[in-house]
Amino acid sequence: MNAEYILTQRHTLLDALRRLDAQKGRLKTLIVVDDDQAVAGTLTDGDIRRALIGGKPLDCPLAEAMHTPFKYVAADAPDIPEQLARLKQTDAKLIPVLDDKGRLVRTIDLTCQRSMLPMDAVLMAGGKGERLRPLTTHTPKPLLKVGGKPIIDYHVHELANCGVEHLSVTTNYLSEQVEAHFAEPVDGVQVQCIHESEFFGTMGAVRLVPQVYNDTLLVMNADLFTNIDFEDFYLHFRRHEADLSVATIPYSVTVPYGILEVDGDEVAGVVEKPVYNYSANAGIYLLKKDLLEEIPSQAYFDATDLIAAIAGRKKVVRYPLAGYWIDIGTPSEYQKACDLANHIQHSSTAN
């Protein structure tokens, strides 16, 4: 909770102007609290201008100029991500999060934070990356740089930006490098590194996480270069009331021949060079915490094993991934990711 955004009702318009002038960035919003530290209203530079135009003096207390009612979310609300998604469609920028007595718990700056997703995250970073050698001979694949920073950092920064506070990374190959990389917090999040003594597979490694704090868990490969929208992924998971969601990418197979439609030995028709479209597993999953009970302890168990184990008993849905997705498994795919990252950086600089 940033104190630079908070004033009391007893402060004046002049105090507010000074505080806003000292703010860095474009937020220009204050939160006004009463004597019991309950939030009483919000105040923007526009509110101050309207008060002055209306004849209020500079020593006017903020209680007479603040904006009420104001937009906020309750700290114990089960639908905070949905509320924030709606608030982002308005002009709201600084959102107070209040306890059951109306007191400020924290603030969410929507100009620099995408959401506040109540989920844990586990990134798989233990693979040897053998197809990428010699690039991975002395460097674990998740620490290979794409666009000037390690692959895994794209995911960590974006998850932190979505309000994820409990983030674990499973390690094996050259684990000491990954652990050193995350020795310090990233965007305020202390990444927990968990060493696999042997390879347990995508979901088997998740069982090594000592504590899962939220009812929803994100699991993904750390060596993907993708702009998946974690907020939309989570909201899709919630809307479908799913137990497990699998992010997918489109995959097409073109048969370069005419394919006969047959009934026994009789030809019923022919399809010339058909194209078959599939949903391929993108290596990114959302699951309910209770599914961890389906995963054997200290045993190899992949995501596909979990899907097979619960299909028909639990609700499994797919999430079609929009945007780009590259599985960095070969030198050509690595170069493709580097080229794309450079293109994105140049485009953003030009704009």
Output the tens digit of pLDDT for each of the chain's 351 residues.
567 778 998 899 999 998 888 876 667 788 999 888 899 999 888 889 999 999 999 999 999 888 888 889 998 888 999 999 998 888 788 888 999 999 988 888 888 888 999 999 999 988 887 888 888 888 898 999 998 889 999 999 999 999 999 999 999 888 899 999 999 888 778 899 999 888 888 899 899 999 999 999 999 999 999 999 999 999 999 999 999 999 999 999 999 999 998 988 899 899 999 998 999 999 999 999 999 999 988 889 999 999 999 988 999 999 999 889 999 989 999 899 999 998 887 766 665
For 85, how many CA atoms within 13 A lie in the half-sphere containing its CB? Answer: 13
Q: What is the CATH number assigned to the segment(s) 120-350?
A: 3.90.550.10
SS3 of residue 104 by DSSP:
strand
Domain boundaries, the chain: 3-109, 120-350
How is residue 248 written in tokens? 């997918």
Name the packing angle between helices 230-239 and 80-87 (round to 10°): 120
The type of residue at 242 is A
DSSP 253-299: EE-SSEEEEEETTEEEEEEES-EEEEEEEEEEEEEEGGGGGGSPTTS
Q: What are the φ/ψ torsions at residue 350 (nearest 5 degrees)?
A: -65, -30
User: What's residue 143's pLDDT?
Assistant: 92
Is there a contact between 164 and 217 (Cβ–Cβ < 8 Å)? Answer: no
> Tokens 């004849």 map to which residue?
55
Nearest C-alpha neighbor of 124 from the set 149, 145, 142, 137: 142
User: What's residue 350's pLDDT?
Assistant: 62
> Tokens 């990711």 map to which residue?
337
User: What's residue 26's pLDDT?
Assistant: 65
CB neighbours of 322 closer than 8 A, spacing ≥ 6?
229
User: What's residue 2's pLDDT?
Assistant: 62
User: What's residue 351's pLDDT?
Assistant: 56
Pairing of strands 216-221, 258-263: unpaired
Q: What is the CATH number assigned to the segment(s) 3-109?
A: 3.10.580.10
